[in-house]
Structure 1
């Protein structure tokens, strides 16, 4: 059980590190998606 928790914690840390290192591109994609949704809902 403890090994499984360690593996899950390692995966979470890896994903968080990946998101933090790619934060500018992730934010850009997120804001682009939000604005495109807003534009399409205005039509």
Structure 2
């Protein structure tokens, strides 16, 4: 899921333009969810 944090994915620019959210805000919000999911997946095996 970390590839959705990259500014190289084209739909992210469209999403940010439509919602008027800064890339920094987007990455900060999404990174919390991806790190949480990563920890859950590691614990579950």
TM-score by length of 1: 0.48
> Whose helix proportion is higher, 1 or 2?
1
Q: Which has the higher contact order (CA 8 A, sep 6+)?
A: 2
Larger radius of gyration: 1
Q: TM-score, with normalisation over the residues of structure 2? A: 0.46
